[in-house]
Amino acid sequence: MKMIPSFRPNISYGELNAVLLRILSGDIAGRVILQFEDRFAQYLGVKHAVNAPSGRWALYYILKSLNLKEGDEVIIPAFTYFAVPAAIVKLGLRPVFVDINSENLNIDIQKIEENITEKTRVIIPTHLCGFVCEIDEILDIAQRQNIKVVEDCAQSLGTEYKGKKVGSLGEVSYFTFGITKSFTTLGGGMVTTDNDELAERVRKNLAQLRQTSNKALFFKLLEGYSMKFATSPILFPIVYSIIRIFSCFGVDIVDCIFHEKERLLGKLPRSGRLNNIQAELGVMQLNDLDRKNSMRMKKGLELYQRLEGIDNIRIPLLGENAKNIFSGCPILVKNKNAIRRKLLAKGIDVSSGYMQDCSKLDVFRGFKKGCPYASRAEDKILYFPIYAELTSSELTYIVNVVKNLAR
C-alpha cells in the first residue's frame, strides 16, 4: 500500500538551507526587496508590486487605500476563507455574500448583479485553486456599474487567462506566500496594480510596518523544515500512522493542528513586511515557478480526466482559454467523511481544506444569508493530493483506489 500525503511544501531543501545560512550569516545588503517586487510585477505584467505581511493584510490595506466609506458594500463569494470578510468588516465595510456557480465553484456572475446596490463599491472574485473565474463578465459588470474589481489571487500565482496572468486583470490584486501555498517566502504577501496613485497609497500605508525580524523568520523556517520532513517518503509513514490512530476516534489531527479559528481581525500588525532574506527566496521561487506549475497542471488535468464519469464523483468545470495551475485539486463527493476515511485506510490523505460557506458563520451573523451552493460545496469538497513531486505511480494508485471505492 502506498502512503500519499495530502500536500508537500513547495519549497526545496536547498531553498530552506539557503535561508538558514542567510539567517546565520546576517541580513543581505542591497535593494533585494525592491528587486523582488520589480521581478514580481514583471512576471505578472503590471506596473507595481508592493509586499505585505500576508494576504489578509494585503486585502485590508488595499481596501483602506481605496478610500471607501463606512457602510460601503463589498461583494465576495460566500465560499471563501474567513479572513476575506474579516478584513472587510475590520474597516467598517459590509461584506455581501454571493453564492457560487455550482459547476466551477467560483462566484456566480448572475447573482452578482442581483446583489448590487447603490452602496456597492467593490467586487472581490476568487480564482479558486488557481481556476480562473468568469473574469470577463465580472469586469464588464464592474465597468457598467462603476465598481472596483479586487482580484483574490491567494491561490493562483501563475494562472493565465487569454494569455494574461491573473493579478493583472482587475483594478488591483493580492497574493499570499504562506508555507502551504504553491509559491512561498515563508510568510508575506503582495499587492499588484497598474494604478500609480493606488500603488503609492498602499505603499505609504504599509511603510508604517517593520520588516519581519530574522528571529521570526527562523521560527517560520523551522515550520518549513518540519512540514518538509513530515511529508517526506521516509517520515510520512510514521505521520500517516498517527493520522490513522486519531481518525479511529473521529479526530482530524491535522485539522486540529492547523485550523485557524474563525474570528474578526484583531490589532493591526506592527511588522511582517518581507525582509531581504525572504525577498531573495522569492526570487529563487519565481525562477522555478512556471516549471512547477506546469508539472502540477499536467498531473491535475490527468487526475480529473481519469476520474471523470465515476459514480458519486463530480469534477469542477474548468474555464476555457485558461491556464489553470491546480494549486489545489478539489473534487466533490457524496458522503464526504466516509469517503475520506476509506481513502485514508488505503494510504491516501485528503483534506477538507479551509474554504467554507462564510455566509453562515456566527462571526458574520450580521451579514448572514442563504447561499445553498456554497454550503453544498463545503459539505462535499475534498482536496486530493496534487504537487510537483507526485509520481505517476502515485497518481495511478489514487485513481484505482477511487474507482474501487465507487464499485
Is the pLDDT at 29 greater than 80? The verdict is: no
Mean per-residue pLDDT, 269-287: 96
Candidates 181, 292, 323, 380; catalytic one: 181
Is the pLDDT at 407 greater than 80? The verdict is: no
Residue 37 vs residue 255, higher pLDDT: 37
Mean per-residue pLDDT, 289-302: 97
Is the pLDDT at 268 greater than 70? The verdict is: yes
pLDDT of residue 258: 82
Is the pLDDT at 287 greater than 70? The verdict is: yes
pLDDT of residue 27: 64
Is the pLDDT at 257 greater than 90? The verdict is: no
Give pLDDT tens digits for 60-83.
999 999 999 999 999 999 999 999
* Domain residue ranges of the chain, discontinuous segments joined by +: 13-211, 218-266+289-406
Q: Which of 106-120, 150-164, 305-319 has the lowest mean pLDDT?
A: 305-319
Fold (CATH) for 13-211: Aspartate Aminotransferase; domain 2 (3.40.640)
- Give the orientation angle of helix 32-44 with respect to helix 276-307, to 10 degrees: 30
181 is known as an active-site residue: yes
**Residue 403's pLDDT band (cuts 50, 70, 90):** very high
Mean per-residue pLDDT, 77-96: 97
pTM above 0.75, yes or no: yes
Mean per-residue pLDDT, 305-310: 94
Give pLDDT tens digits for 329-368.
999 999 999 999 999 999 999 999 999 999 999 999 999 8
Q: With respect to CATH, is domain 218-266+289-406 assigned 3.40.190.10? A: no
Residue 117 vs residue 31, higher pLDDT: 117
